[in-house]
Amino acid sequence: MRFGPALGYAVQQGEAEILDMLLAAGASPDGDPEETLDFHSLKPPLIIAVQEGNKILVTRLIKAGAKVNQYFSQYGRSVTPLYVASMNGHLRIMQQLLDAGAAVDGKAGYLGTPFLAAVSEGQVEAMNMLLDAGADVQARSAVSKYPALVIALDKEHPEVVDHLINAGANVNNSAQYYGSALQAAAYKGYRDVTEKLLDVGADPAMEGGHYGLAIVAAAAKKHVVVVKMFIDRDAVTKEQAGKATEWVKEMIESGDDRSDEFQEILAMLSSVVE
């Protein structure tokens, strides 16, 4: 007898008694992979319980033998229970899964690992739990290949940066579009984060990414306070300031923008170039 749809619905609705009844009747705690009646018959019950944040049902499914490292394909990427729990910050469920043998760096999802999933959602406590369990702080996204620092900045979670630095994240890891974490912070206009990265050894001369240099990214995005900080710290060479100046002038000449911010930035850069 096949129980896939019923088991999935019972878990989604939080029906512990029905879940117990179905399991006692022989339903697999992993659902029925051959059942194609609907979405919930395809999604493993454990992943449904994790998404719902239902610790009680997670406990019962694990006790019944559910595979804690099972995959479910979602949006073209396979996720695991720990990946889902980490992304949603379900700390107690994460601990249950880890205690039951979930792979802390199990490859899954768009981000690639549960740790990077937590970083992308700004789930600091989840991130720290995974680091304590041995997660790789230098891991890169499965698709974008971004390291954790760049993911945090790209997803606009600057509050995560200090935690990653303290955990040993390499501040000079390269990243495709942004070039580096420093360039990502400058691009986003996070002055304090940009300065923090410089304080711990981020290289302002590191080239790569769309803008080539962090100072160019800050100038192109009209982040006056970030440009000023670079200049005040003497973190910009004459050559780098020249590249930023050329970029800004090209944007103005193309009619992209003639804002007051650009004029102020050009004036600051000229103090370095001249």
Average pLDDT over residues 201-206: 98
Domains and CATH numbers, the chain: 1-67 (1.25.40.20), 171-274 (1.25.40.20)
Residue 43, pLDDT > 90, answer: no
* pLDDT for the residue 170: 98
Residue 37 pLDDT grade (very low, low, confident, very high; cuts 50, 70, 90): very low
What distances in angstroms separate CA 72 from CA 40, 159, 173, 223, one per listed residue? 11, 31, 31, 42
Q: Mean pLDDT over all residues of the chain?
A: 92
* pLDDT for the residue 248: 95
The answer to whether residues 145 and 173 touch, using CB atoms and an 8 Å cutoff, is no
What distances in angstroms separate CA 202 from CA 45, 143, 199, 214, one per listed residue? 44, 24, 7, 10
* pLDDT for the residue 274: 76
* pLDDT for the residue 75: 58
* pLDDT for the residue 33: 56
Give this prediction's pTM.
0.90
pLDDT tens sequence across 156-198: 999 999 999 999 999 999 999 999 999 999 999 999 999 999 9
- Written as one string, the DSSP assignment of 207-255 is -BTTTBSHHHHHHHTT-HHHHHHHHHTT---HHHHHHHHHHHHHHHHTT
- Alpha carbon 166 to its chain centroid, in Å, reads 17
Locus of tokens 């396979």? 78
* pLDDT for the residue 273: 83
